[in-house]
Structures are given as structure tokens and as C-alpha cells.
Amino acid sequence: MSVCQDVGYSEMRLPNLLGHSSLEGEVVPRSEDWRPLLQTGCHPQAQAFLCSLIAPVCLDAFIQPCRSLCVAVRDNCAPVLACQGHVWPEALDCDRFPTQEDMCLTPHPKHSNSHLAKALPKPACQACPSVEEHPSLKTVLDALCQDDFAVTAKLSRRRLPSGEPEFEVEGRVEFIRQGPLLPYDTQHLLQQWLLINLPCANVLVRPGRAQLYLLTGAVQPDGTLALTRLFPWHKKNNSITIATRKWKHHKC
């Protein structure tokens, strides 16, 4: 079961803590339902929490997740579920889990580099940014002036065997205006944005071959990234090409 394949044990027990008794008929397909959420990285222990319920380790007694772990995962991941049009399921009501932390799976202590993680921009659910198919030169330059950052990236949309779309940031992300973004983190940041904002991604990213976009946006006071404009970079439209060349010497 690929969703839980690297959780640190190789044998599970059935029925699991959600009442599923059939591996192929219930456990595997239900576990795949959680893949889109886990891919967003909404909480570092989301996989451990969910797999302790879906694929509990094979011991004489169940090791349930602690209520504190459930609350930590829920508080971080429920907003992502809501962004994707879902609610936190009743089966994962945190009140059902034990509070005695010596008898259950506890949250990991915060790592020493947590201050660095807090300093990094992070994606969040947002209203969909506007799309300008054939912008004027002034429109592009205004966007570069008004927003905190501007990058170019190739975005692709493919269809999985299940029929669900898959979005990907292909290749390198190039900076037009770096702003508060970090070079080593920006591709991952945009990828996570697409995974969290699936309804927007469905509207913004065309199926088929990867399309080059100019993306502009801002980092909010709470550290969350918000995309504000997407410009598909068409070969026939020179406005973006001219704007990105003029930008180095442009006075806003």
C-alpha cells in the first residue's frame, strides 16, 4: 500500500481502526483518497496519523494516535481539505482518541530548525488569481511593480489512471523579481500551492503540453504566499518578453 509504505513497519492488522476488513476492497482504495492531502505537506505527521488508523502496526493491541496528535494534524490539514471542497471526516473526530500520552502515538517535539521553517513563505488556500491571456505591456509592467515577486515557470496538467488531474511545476523556476522568495524553495512552494488550491489549478492550468507562465504575487504579513496574476506566455504576444527585458531599468 503505497500511501503507507515508508511508515517504519511492514505488517499491519485488520480490521483497522476505521473498521475496514478487506485490504484490496477497502483499505487500499480508501488510503488513496488521502494521497492528495498528504502530498500538500499540511503537517509533518499527517501520514503517521492517518496510517496508524488505516494500516495499524501488527501488535497484540492497537496503538492509537493521541488526541494531541489528531488535533495538531486536524488544525493544519482541515483548512486544506476545506480548500479542496471537503470537511474533516467524523471518523477522525479527535475526541475519540486517548489523552494519556504514554499509551498512544504522540506528536514529535518541534525540531531545532522550526524557526527557519516559520521564516519561509508557505502556500495557503486563497481566491483564484486572475488570468491575463493577452496583456498589454503596461499591464505586465504594472503587475511587476505592484507585486512582491514575479517568476516564470512551466505548469503542466495530466490525467491520472483514476481520472483525477495531476499538476506539476516542470523544470527550473526563473526569477524576474525575486522579492522574499528563496531560490532553493520556490519550485516546491509553487508545487504545494497547486496541490492545496486544486479548484484554482483546475481552472488555471490547461491540459496537454506544459505551458510557460509569468506568475506574480505577494507574501502576506503572516508568511503565506498569494498568487495574484497569471500570464500565459504565448509566443505571439511580445508584451511579456518586452516587459521582462525592460524591467531591470524600469522605474515604477
pLDDT tens-digit readout, 96-110: 999 988 889 998 775
Q: Report residue 119: phi and psi, to 5°.
A: -80, -20
- Grid cell, residue 102, equals 504514554
Q: Report pLDDT digits (tens) over 198-233.
A: 999 999 998 888 999 999 999 999 999 999 999 999
How far, in Å, are 9, 61, 113, 206, 208 from residue 235 at the CA level?
A: 51, 63, 43, 16, 17
Write the CA distances from 12 to 28, 91, 168, integer angstroms: 12, 20, 32
Residue 85 φ/ψ region, left for φ over 0, alpha for ψ in the -120 to 50 degree band, beta for the rest: left
| CATH for the 115-249 domain, from 3.30.460, 2.40.50, 2.50.20, 1.10.3470 | 2.40.50
Which conformational region is residue 150 in: left (phi greater than 0), alpha (psi within -120 to 50 degrees), or beta? beta
Q: Model's pTM, two decimal places?
A: 0.85
Domain boundaries in the chain? 2-96, 115-249
2-96 maps to CATH 1.10.2000.10: yes
Phi, psi of 143 (to 5 degrees): -65, -40
Cell numbers 492531502 label which residue?
37
CB 178 within 8 A of CB 149: yes
- In 3D space, the residue among 181, 177, 174 whose CA is nearest the CA of residue 142 turns out to be 177
Regions of the chain where pLDDT drops below 70 = 110-118
Phi then psi for residue 162, to 5 deg, are -75, -10
